[in-house]
Structure 1
Amino acid sequence: MDRQCMQIIEQNRRQLDLLKSILRQVTKEHYQQKKAWPGQPSVGKHVRHVLDHYQQLWLATESGRLDYRLRLRDEGAQTDPAIALQWIERLETWLQCLEHTDLEYQLHYQFAEGETYSSLHRELDFVASHCVHHLALIHALLDACGYSLPQAAGIHSSTQEYHRRCAR
């Protein structure tokens, strides 16, 4: 497997590790607590949403068909951080298996406006970036709760690299 493919798998591992770090410390109460924002978000809703996208991609590697609208929406992962952690462990095993897969594998991609094709590599990039976005929102939801959240949570790797270059 080429360097670029290994990097995208590693990027996904890093994002899931950040999510695990948060899940290991957040209380069930804070995990389920809804904010009076549009959609009444909670940490659990964001975590479940991220995991749903990973699960759909995983299923697509078996079927060849990807449609993020068909997400599983596991209520258990939305209400219990321990269940979310179990899902992450499964996803980590799946990512490890991808090290022996052609990431240019074509997926039939269905979306609201039609259909097209995408590659597994492209979709791994998407779910990693999607996770970054939701980690930023989770960070905002937990900001006032006193947790020691990872500084990298919610900051894309390209932004981190940019900051490193600027600091030189």
Structure 2
Amino acid sequence: MTVIEQNLHQLDLIRLILRQVQPEHYRQVKDWPGEPSVGKHIRHVLDHYQQLWLASDSQQLDYRLRLRDEGTQSDPQKALHWIERLQTWLQCLEADELDTQLSYQFAEGTTFTSLQRELDFVASHAVHHLALIHAMLEPWGYPWPEEAGVHSSTREYHKRCAP
């Protein structure tokens, strides 16, 4: 699976969750460190994708400048809208664009990265948050895709180890 396909898949999994989760469960804040909600996790993931999309044009990437749109964390429909836009962007990316060099700003300074490397990061980042979302939704018994929250490398490892 290509890096673009991995990202499209992660966004498809989030879309599946958004289409079934009740709005009150989406917004419910857990009594956990950081007071998370499903909506906050999804907003956070989408923020990273949005920031990378902007960087694909400007060649300047700084995840600390994320939009942090509270509407996305409270309204599943707004999150679905962003997923559609992000998937369209990903589907339009050409293979030669993946090598685009980005100036990456972080707390200690600036370095360089590539669009492809950052697409790999945001896909893995989405997997991590899907695992947390699963733990949050589990008490309500929502159906959960088996591969959601499990990295593709972990699935491949389990296939090799299976008897």
Q: Secondary structure at the match of 2:110?
A: strand
Residue in structure 2 matched with residue 126 of structure 1 by the alignment:
121
Alpha-carbon distance in 1 for matches of 2:140, 2:122: 27
For 1:17-166, list aligned pairs within 5 A.
17-166=12-161
- Letter of the aligned partner of 2:92 in structure 1? C
Structure 2: segments with no counterpart, 5+ residues:
none
Structure 1: segments with no counterpart, 5+ residues:
1-5
Stretch of structure 1 that moved more, 101-110 or 60-69: 101-110
Q: Secondary structure at the match of 1:16?
A: helix
Q: Secondary structure at the match of 1:51?
A: helix
- The superposition leaves residues 34-67 of structure 1 with CA deviations (integer Å, 9 ceiling, x where unpaired) of 1101110000000000000000000001111000
Alpha-carbon distance in 2 for matches of 1:63, 1:101: 17
**Percent identical:** 71
CA positional deviation for 1:76: 1.1
- The superposition leaves residues 68-107 of structure 1 with CA deviations (integer Å, 9 ceiling, x where unpaired) of 0000011111001111000000000000111354211100
- Of residues 4, 10, 15, the one that matches 1:15 is 10
- Letter of the aligned partner of 1:88 in structure 2? I
- Letter of the aligned partner of 1:9 in structure 2? I
- The superposition leaves residues 104-159 of structure 1 with CA deviations (integer Å, 9 ceiling, x where unpaired) of 11000000111100000000000000000000000000011110011111000000
Alpha-carbon distance in 2 for matches of 1:34, 1:153: 21
How many matched pairs? Answer: 163
| TM-score, normalization by structure 2 | 0.97
| TM-score, normalization by structure 1 | 0.94
